[in-house]
Structure 1
Amino acid sequence: MPVFLSHKREDKEQTLRIAGYLKQNNVNCYVDVFDPGLQTTDDITKILMERIGQCTHLMAVVSGYTEKSWWVPFEIGVGSEKDRRITSFQLTNVSLPDFLTKWPILKNQNDLDTFIQFYKQDTMVSLSESVGYTKRVYSADQFHRELKARL
């Protein structure tokens, strides 16, 4: 259940720090800078859509640079269309577009820790369902609603 980290190139260092923290906490994530497939294709759109399809969660890392991005809104749209769990990590105190306020907004490490807790609960439900246990099933909407309430 990887987390797709969407970001603008200028926010790469902060995105890699977030990815490192997630990995330290046993959360698998996808960051495009490590994808050799993106270096050898003319169809970046297809590859990104496939990668988002392979992930269960999408976290948009947003800052003032994001306003100039075409890819971040595209990736969020694909994630939304595929019913992924979507969050934003706000690096700077930038005004977010209304469409991003629909989903939980993380602003610091405590929020990231809360996300990790919810991610792992979501993972446990999926794993327990796969071995036949009956547990509460989380929809993407439930995940968003409950995480927003906790933040």
Structure 2
Amino acid sequence: MQGLNYKSSLFECLYKKDTQCVFISHKKEDSAAAKKIADYLMNAGVNVYFDEYDDTLDLTDPYSVVRGIKNGLNHSTHLLVLLSPEALKSKWIPWEVGYAYDLKTIISLTLKTIAEWELPEYLKITKIIKGTTSLNQFLSELIGCTEPFLIKESRLISAIKSHPLDDILVWNK
């Protein structure tokens, strides 16, 4: 089953108690990587809130951004923080983490471009995912799969073939 993007997933998460929805927190400069992650999660059957899929947001209006973030977080079960050197400069990511801290499961996903020692203290207490293997393990737990998750596309995944996130995540961590 294909996961849903913002418009459908928030509605479904609102009315179905057992529906998982992952809010993707990222810095604008990491949007391409965030989109790959969002698409990967949706291909796994996971619903996401990803700001680029939210056409109600007016990024020039801070009130619109705050409303969109609150709405997305209020209807999500998880907050996935994409970490990169750019993300460390974000003003929105710490705000999103603070808003969600006591209400959501927070997971940090390190992109290839950041070392663990660079992580901010407030994120070191979250579950940290470092690569494709740990991301697939997280997805298995999220969707309640007893076997390790592998995206179901015929061209993917074996030890020889490449993973669709190889360019942004460390392989096999």
- Structure 2 counterpart of 1:130: none
Which structure's residues are more often helix, by fraction? Answer: 1
- Structure 1 counterpart of 2:109: 89
When normalised by structure 1's length, the TM-score is 0.75
Match of 1:108 among 107, 126, 131: 131
Change (3 A) 1:67 1:40: closer
Q: Offset at 1:121? A: 2.9
The one-letter code of the counterpart of 1:119 is L
Q: 2: distance between equivalents of 1:93 and 1:35? A: 28
Does the residue aligned with 1:37 lie in a helix, a strand or coil?
coil
| Range that drifts further, 38-47 or 58-67 | 38-47
Does the residue aligned with 2:31 lie in a helix, a strand or coil?
helix
1:22 corresponds to 2:45:
no
Q: Offset at 1:84? A: 0.4
Q: 2: distance between equivalents of 1:5 and 1:40? A: 16
The one-letter code of the counterpart of 1:87 is I
Equivalent runs, 1:121-132 vs 2, <5 Å = 121=144
Q: Percent identity?
A: 33
The one-letter code of the counterpart of 2:128 is I
Change (3 A) 1:89 1:56: same
8 A contact 2:88–2:120 mirrored in 1: no
1:99 corresponds to 2:122:
yes
Q: What are the ranges of 5 or more consecutive residues in structure 2 without an aligned counterpart? A: 1-19, 146-172
Q: 1: distance between equivalents of 2:136 and 2:86? A: 25
- Structure 2 counterpart of 1:134: none
- Structure 2 counterpart of 1:64: 85
- Structure 2 counterpart of 1:127: none
Q: Offset at 1:41? A: 8.2
- Structure 2 counterpart of 1:120: 143
